[in-house]
């Protein structure tokens, strides 16, 4: 099967407004959809990228996509002008409202900016079979993008515990890069 997208020499760079007016376009079906549909898109895309480029590159592409999404989500949905405590409280509320997950800050070092947080009922992996691996590469980028949009600092976010590892929450370590 020929990849027609590879032949297209133009690329429309992502813009938030290109997500469209979902309420207007889906007046009968609404904005919600089953998580299985989201995961079907995500994991088939990851499978195709992994087969084409290998695990490391595919996972990095997912982190990069998550970063772009997190940055745009923060800029378009969150109030970036509030103090840190208010920002985290708003982020917790918004992630739950959007049914992305239940965020909890476990540790924050005000001197370094480093943090550990968990996401319960994570959209990407809660309920997956245990495969003894971490799988939330998109989330790593998403969280990193949100944190950079708010702080102006680059973050390396890595998942250290995952539902697919047998844990019941996803735990992420965020480290400020120099």
Mean pLDDT by 10 residues, the chain (178 residues): 54 89 92 94 96 97 97 98 98 98 97 97 95 95 98 98 94 95
Assign residue 115 the CATH number of its domain.
3.30.1380.20
Split into its structural domains, the chain has a count of 1
pLDDT of residue 91: 98
The helix or strand, by DSSP H or E, that contains position 103, with its residue range, turns out to be strand 102-108
Environment class of 100 (CB within 10 Å of its CB; exposed 0-12, middle 13-18, buried 19+) = middle
Q: Rounded CA gap, 78 and 99, in Å?
A: 15
Tokens 């009968």 -> residue: 28
Beta strands across the sheet bearing 102-108: 102-108, 115-120, 170-176, 155-161
pTM value > 0.75: yes
pLDDT of residue 4: 45
**Domain hosting residue 63, numbered range:** 4-176
pLDDT of residue 178: 79
């Amino acid at each position: 099967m020929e990849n027609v997208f590879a032949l297209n020499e133009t690329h429309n760079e992502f813009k938030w407004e290109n997500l469209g007016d979902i309420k207007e376009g889906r007046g009968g079906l609404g904005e919600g959809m089953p998580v299985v549909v989201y995961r079907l898109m995500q994991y088939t895309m990851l499978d195709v990228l992994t087969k084409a480029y290998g695990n490391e590159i595919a996972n990095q592409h997912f982190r990069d996509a998550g970063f772009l999404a997190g940055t745009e989500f923060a800029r378009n949905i969150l109030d970036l002008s509030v103090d840190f405590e208010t920002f985290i409280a708003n982020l917790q509320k918004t992630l739950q409202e959007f049914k992305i997950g239940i965020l909890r800050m476990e540790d924050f070092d005000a001197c370094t900016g480093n943090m550990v947080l968990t996401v319960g009922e994570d959209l990407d992996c809660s309920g997956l079979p245990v495969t003894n691996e971490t799988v939330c590469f998109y989330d790593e980028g998403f969280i990193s993008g949100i944190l950079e949009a708010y702080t102006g600092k680059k973050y390396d976010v890595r998942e250290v515990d995952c539902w697919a590892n047998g844990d019941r929450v996803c735990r992420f370590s965020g480290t400020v890069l120099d």
